[in-house]
Amino acid sequence: MPFILLTYLPSLLCGIHVVRTGREMYWLWIFVIAPLLGPAVYFFAVLLPEMLGGRTARNVGKAARQALDPEREYRNALRALDDTPTVGNRMKVAQAAAALGRWSDAEAQWAQCADGHWAEDPAILMGHANALLELQRWQEALTRLEQLRKLGRDGETPTVALAFARAYEGLGRNQEADDAYRFAADRVPGLEAGARYVAFMAKTGRRQDAEIGMTEIERRLSKIANPLRAEARIWRDMAAKALGRG
């Protein structure tokens, strides 16, 4: 009996805090089904940011909430859009859907954003193009990117070049894809551009060039800070797989 009481004591204390501060009631259910894990997550998601404040604590809280309920931001964005159907709120829904890998939903929201007055907004054009790329709708993505390019400097960034490279590759326009990948590979932060270029070179029979690119990816990965290394390793692994390294 004392052990059971001690097990549920953190849940009881956290539950009191939930009720007193008017937070979401689903926490109470979590405390019941996970009397040890639930309070631990609540501590990092709610109590620690309250006690410390500041950006670091808020980021810790956001990460904990995201791990516990990855669809929370998507639901909140949908609710905000339902309450106030603005383009800004629709963009948030599209971004939240993309974060969950719901590319069809994201594409549908971006398409509505691009209709009418906001048809030439660079962020909307880029968001829509990226969703179309993930859906492998290469020609539609290229059309959006060409609209973006016509706007001037906003359409000439390394990130846009990477998107062009993916569209060209999907359409089999390999020389144009190579030019765009080469421009983006050393200019886009992180390893995505370099990894995609390595995969492209491996696919098009340029094994030696791909191996050189892979060596550079390994070098850059070793210099990335530990908190960012997990995401970077995803791209490194993609390039390695394209080279048949497992």
Q: How many whole angstroms from its chain centre is CA 156?
A: 22
Q: How confident is the model at residue 140, as a pLDDT?
A: 98
- Three-state helix/strand/coil letters over the chain: CHHHHHHHHHHHHHHHHHHHHCCCCHHHHHHHHCCCHHHHHHHHHHHHHHHHCHHHHHHHHHHHHHHHCCCHHHHHHHHHHHHCCCHHHHHHHHHHHHHCCCHHHHHHHHHHHCCCCCCCCHHHHHHHHHHHHHCCCHHHHHHHHHHHHCCCHHHCCHHHHHHHHHHHHHCCCHHHHHHHHHHHHCCCCCCHHHHHHHHHHHHCCCHHHHHHHHHHHHHHHHCCCHHHHHHHHHHHHHHHHHCCCC
Domains located in the chain, CATH noted: 2-68 (no CATH), 103-242 (1.25.40.10)
pLDDT of residue 32: 73
User: pLDDT tens per residue, the chain (246 residues)?
Assistant: 554 555 566 777 777 777 766 666 767 767 777 777 777 777 766 665 555 544 444 454 555 555 555 688 889 999 999 999 999 999 999 999 999 999 999 999 999 999 888 889 999 999 999 999 999 999 999 999 999 999 888 888 999 999 999 999 999 999 999 999 999 998 998 999 999 999 999 999 999 999 999 999 999 999 888 777 888 899 999 999 999 986
- Whole-number pLDDT of residue 54: 45
- What's the pLDDT tens digit per position in 7-51? 566 777 777 777 766 666 767 767 777 777 777 777 766 665 555
CA distance 216 to 239: 11
The reported pLDDT for the residue numbered 56 is 46
CA pseudo-torsion sign 229, 232, 238, 242: negative
pLDDT of residue 153: 83
Task: Give CA 47 to chain center in angstroms.
Answer: 26
pLDDT value at residue 57: 47
